[in-house]
Amino acid sequence: MDAIITSFELLGTTLIIPMAVIGMTWGIFGGATPGLSPSITMALLLPFTYTMDPIPALVLLTSTYVGAEYGGSIPAILIRTPGTSASAATMIDGYEMRKQGRAGEALGISLQASSIGNFVGILCVILLTAPLSQLALAFKPSSYFALGILGLSVIVSVSEGMLFKGIIGALIGLMIATIGTDPVTGVGRFTYGNADLLTGVPIILVMVGLFAVGEVLEQVANRQPTAHISGGATKLKWPSWAVQLKTAKANLIGSVIGIFSGIMPGAGGTVASFMAYTEARRFSKTPEEFGKGSEEGVAAPECANNADAGVGLIPLLSFGIPASNSTAVLLGGFLIHGLIPGPVLFNRDPTILYGMFSGLLVASLALIPIAYMTLSASIWLVNRPKPYLFAFIAALVFSGAYSINNSPFDLGLVLASGILGYGMRYFGMPMLPTILGLVLGYMIESNYRRSLVISGGDYHIFIEDPVSVIFLSLAVLFLAGSLIREFRNRRLRPQDKEVSA
Amino acid sequence: MLVKHTNALARSLFAATLGLACAAALPALAQDKIAYPHKVVTLVTHSSPGGGSDVFLRDMTKYLKQVIDADFVVENVSGGSGAKAMAHMAKQKPDGSVFYATTPTYIYTSHMAELSANYTALEPLANFFYDPEVIYTRADAPFKTLKDVLDKAKAGRSAWGAANPGSLERITLEQMKKITGVNAAVVTSEGGGETMINVLNGTLDIAIGEVQELRSQLEGKQVRVLAVLSEAPLALLPGVPTAKDSGIDLAVRKFRGLAGPKGLPPEITKAWDQAIPKLLADPKYKADYEAANLVPAFIAHDDYVKFVDHFAMEQKTLLTEVGVVKKK
Amino acid sequence: MDRDILCGVIAFAIALAYLTAAATIPETAIGDTVGAAGVPHLLGYGLAIMSALYVGQRLLVLRAGIGPTADEEGDSRGVFDHPLAAFAWAAGAVAICAVFIFFFETTGYFLSVALLIFAMCVYQGVKPDIRLAAISIGGAVVFWLIFVMLLDVHMPLGIWADLI
C-alpha cells in the first residue's frame, strides 16, 4: 500500500506527467522512423537527462522506450515499412488490412493491442519483478536453441499448400543469418574483408528491403492503371466490440508470449512478435484469414512486442542485466545519476522505482490520446497519389537505412533485399518463413553450438535441460500436427492447389 | 543479425556507461593550457552514440580541453568492430587534428578479418588507462579460489565464459587453459548479459569480465571475484589475489589510448606526452575515472608504439596457435 | 518454363553458390565439434536437396497432368500477367535507386533525395514540370529537417561540404 501512496505523491510533486507525455511522443516518432531503433531514439535523449533529477530522467527514457515499441507499427501498417524489426510481424496483416481500405481499423487494433501489452508488461514489472526474475535463470543455451526450433516449427503451418516454397524460403533466411562473424570461433563467414558485413547483416535492413522496397518495385513496375489504393477511413478507428472480442484471444496469447520472452535476455521483441503471430494463427478459429488482413494477426504481435518491452525491464531491475539495446541505454540513464539497478536498488532507493513505475503507467495511458492526435495526419499522408507515395517511401527507406550505420553499403543491401523480395513475389513464395529464418537463425545456431561446447559435443545436453525438452516436444507435436493436416487436405482434394506442395 | 547487434551494443553500453556517473559541470581552471596547432581536434570512436568508448571519450573531452588549448569533438564511425573507423582514419591527414580511441578490439578486428586498412595503417599516440579484467563466479559456487576451479577442470569438465568469440577475454581464457594444462570449454556469447546469466545459473563455472560490468552483481553479492588479471591487486577489490599470486602467470592489459594516422609529427606527440599526465592528475577527473573503475596507465608515445606493436604480435601468435588466424 | 520449376532451379543455384562460398570458411582449433562451416554446410545441402526434390515433384505433377500449372494459376492481382514487361519496369526502378546509392555520398543528401523523388515520380508517369520540382525539393527539405536537424544523423554533405 505504501508503494501506491508514494507513487501518487510522486505524481503530483515531480515532473513525471510531462516527462511521460514528452517521452511517449518522442518515442512514437522515433519508432515510426525506419532506421531509428528504439535504442537510438533513447540514446538521443541521454544528454538531456544529465541535468535532470533521476525520477523525471528515468520516466522520460522509459516512456520513450515504450512509445518507440508502439511507433514501429505505424509505417508497417501504412506503407509496408517496419519502423522497428519487431513491427515486421504486425505488418503482414496490417498492410493487408490497409490494402482493403481498413487502415484506420488496423491502426486502432494495433493501438489497443499495444496498450494492453503495455499494461500487462508494466503490471508484471511492478508486481512480479522478484519472482519472475528467477525464471530468467532457468534459461540455458540449450533452452534458447529449443525455443528457436519451436519458432521455426511454425513454418510448416504458415506455408500451408506450399510447403516446399516455405522451407526453401526459410533456408534462405537462415543462410542470410550466417553472414558475419561466427558466434563460436570468431572467424568471418561470407564477409570477404567487407567491414560492413563483419557484424552481420542487420535484420531491419533486410526486412525493409524485402517488404518496402519489394512493394515499391512491384507497384512501380505495375503499369496498368490500378484502382487507387485507399487507406479507407482517414481517421483512426477504435476497434468495435465484435472486433475486440475477436482479438481477445490474440491479445492474451501475445501478452503471455511477451511476458516470457521479456524475462529472458536474448530472445527479444522481434522473436516475441513473430512467435505471437504464428501462435495466434495456430490457435485461431479463422487461421485462413491470416496473411489476408486478419485482425488477430495485427493484435497478437503488437501486444507481444509491447508486453516484451515492459517485462524486459525485469532483468535490468532485478539483476542489473540489460537484455536489449534499449535497456542498455536505460542502464546508462540509471548510471548517469549514480544509480546501479539490481537487487540492492530495490531495497535502497525504492522511491525511484515507484516514480518510474507510475511514469510508465501515465505513459501508457497517454499513448491513446497521443496516437489519436498523430495518426490521422499519418493516414492523410499515405493517401496521396500513388507515384508520389512510392517515390517518398523510397526516399524515406533509404534515409532511414543510411542513418543506422552511415554506410552506403547498407543502402545497397536494402536494394538487394528489395530485388529478392520482388523475386519472391513473382514466384509466389511466402515471406514469413524467410523472415523467421532470418530472425531465429542466429539464436538457433549460436546456442546450438554453445550447448555442444559446454557438453563437449554430447547431444544429451538438449534432453537433460527440462526447458529445452518442453520446447522441443512442443515443436515435434506442432510439426506432426501440421504435417498430418497438410496430407489430409491433399488426399481430400487431390486436384487442389495443395498438390503443388 | 539482430541478436548479435543487440548484444554487441548492449555490452559496450553496459561496459562503460559508468563514465557518465559524475559528469558534473566544471569550473574553469586557471592553469596554463598546452599550446596546440589545431583549434578543433576530432576523436573518432567505433562505438555508437551512448556506447562504451563513446561515453568514455565524451567524458574525457570535458577535462581534456582544460589541459590542451583546443576544442574536442567526438565522431562516431561505427560498424565492423572498428574496421570502418580504421578505414576512415587511414584516409585522414597525420597532422594531429584527428585521433582514434583505441582498445584491443581494433587489433583483434585487424587480425581476424582481411581489411583494406588495419591497425598497421595507424600510429599509436599514447595510452591513458587500463580496464582491469577479473575472473568471477556465482556467490554460492563451491569454488573459493581459482585453484578450486582448475581442480574441477582437471578432474573432469568445466565451462568458462567470455563475452565475444574474437576478443582479448576469450583468448585470455584459452591462454589460461594452456598455462594450466586443464581441459575446459570456453563458451562465448555476444554480450556480458548472457554470460552473467549463465554464471548465475551455474551453466558456467567462471567467467572473465571487466570490473565495471559486474558492479551491480558485486553490490548485490551475487558474484564473487576469484582473481584479478592484472599485475597488482585492485584497490576496489581488497583481498582478491591476482592470478599471478594464485600461481598462474597471466595478466591482461586491456588498454585505452589514442592512435592517429601514420606519420604523426613530433611536436604533436610531445604535446600529448605532456598533457596526459596532467589530465590524469586532475582531481575531478580522477574521481570520475575511478568511479568508472579505470586504472590510470600513462604510456608515452615512443613506448606506446612499441607496446601496441608488441601486443599485436603477441596476440597474433596466440590467435595463430589456436587456428583463428591462418599462418602466412 | 513452369514458374515453380524455375523457382526450384534458382534455389538450387543459390544452394550451390552458397556451398562454394562456405567451402572457404576457415577451420580453427578453438572451435567446437560443429565448426564454423558446420551449420552453413547443413543449410546449403538442405537447400540443394529441397530444391531438387521440388523440381522433381513439379515435373512429376506436370507430366501426370494433375493440378494446374503455376502459370495457369496466374496471379490473382494481375501484377505479373506480363512478367517480362514487369521485370523491365522494375529493373528501371532498381537502376534509379542504384544510381542514387552510387552518387549518394558525392551529391550530398539533400540534392540526391530531391533527385530521387523527382526521378521516381517521372518514371511512374508524373509530368516533369515545375510543380513536381517544387514537390521534390519540398520533400527533400522535410527529410533534411527530420533526419539532419531533428535526429542529428550525419548525412553526407557531398560536394557541397566546402560551400557551407
- pLDDT tens-digit readout, B208-217: 988 877 877 8
Chain C partners within 8 Å of A411 (Cβ): 101, 104
Q: What confidence score (pLDDT) does residue B16 get?
A: 39
Q: What confidence score (pLDDT) does residue B88 get?
A: 86
Q: What confidence score (pLDDT) does residue B26 get?
A: 40
Residue with cell 594516422: B261
Cell numbers describing residue C21: 562460398
Q: What is the mean pLDDT of chain A?
A: 83
Domain layout of chain C by residue ranges: 3-73, 83-160
pLDDT digits (tens, 9 = 90+) for A312-350: 888 788 777 776 778 877 877 887 777 777 766 766 677
Q: How confident is the model at residue C42 (pLDDT cuts 50, 70, 90)?
A: very high
Mean pLDDT of A35-44: 77
Q: How confident is the model at residue B192 (pLDDT cuts 50, 70, 90)?
A: low
Q: What confidence score (pLDDT) does residue B51 get?
A: 65
Give me Rg for the CA atoms of chain A: 22
Q: How confident is the model at residue B292 (pLDDT cuts 50, 70, 90)?
A: confident
Domain layout of chain A by residue ranges: 2-500
Hey, are the CB atoms on B20 and A336 less than 8 Å from each other? yes
pLDDT digits (tens, 9 = 90+) for A448-459: 999 998 888 889
Mean pLDDT of B174-184: 87
Residues sharing a CB contact under 8 Å with residue A45, sequence separation 6 or more, in sequence order: A23, A26, A60, A61, A64
Give SS3 for A345.
Answer: helix
Mean pLDDT of B200-223: 85
Residue C95 contacts A, CB cutoff 8 Å: no
Q: How confident is the model at residue B10 (pLDDT cuts 50, 70, 90)?
A: very low
Closest CA to A83 of A296, A323, A280, A269: A269
The ipTM value here is 0.91
Chain A partners within 8 Å of C58 (Cβ): 500
Residue C162, phi then psi, degrees to nearest 5: -75, -25
Residue type at C30 in one-letter notation: I
Higher pLDDT, A451 or B1: A451
pLDDT digits (tens, 9 = 90+) for B58-71: 888 888 888 888 88
Q: What confidence score (pLDDT) does residue A501 get?
A: 34
Residue A494 has pLDDT above 50, yes or no: no
Residue B327 has pLDDT above 90, yes or no: no
Q: What confidence score (pLDDT) does residue B126 get?
A: 92
Residue B162, phi then psi, degrees to nearest 5: -140, 150
Q: How confident is the model at residue A495 (pLDDT cuts 50, 70, 90)?
A: very low
What percent of chain A clears pLDDT 90, i.e. is strictly above it? Answer: 18
pLDDT digits (tens, 9 = 90+) for C59-79: 888 887 765 544 444 444 566
Residue type at A17 in one-letter notation: I
Residue A29 has pLDDT above 90, yes or no: no
Cell numbers describing residue A311: 517485462
Chain A partners within 8 Å of B81 (Cβ): 181, 198-199
Hey, are the CB atoms on A50 and B20 less than 8 Å from each other? yes
Higher pLDDT, A66 or A495: A66
Closest CA to A402 of B1, C143, C161, B106: C143
What does the DSSP 8-state code read for residue C149?
I
Residues sharing a CB contact under 8 Å with residue A475, sequence separation 6 or more, in sequence order: A146, A149, A150, A152, A153
Hey, are the CB atoms on A137 and B18 less than 8 Å from each other? no
Delineate the domains of chain B, giving CATH numbers in brackets: 2-131+253-322 (3.40.190.150), 133-228 (3.40.190.10)
Least confident of B141-145, B246-250, C62-66: C62-66
> Could you say which residues from 30 to 89 on chain C have a Cβ atom under 8 Å away from some Cβ of chain A?
30-40, 43-44, 46-47, 50-51, 53-54, 57-58, 61, 66-68, 70, 73, 75, 78-80, 83, 85-89
Q: What is the mean pLDDT of chain C?
A: 85
Other CB atoms within 10 A of residue A15 CB? 16
Mean pLDDT of A259-286: 82
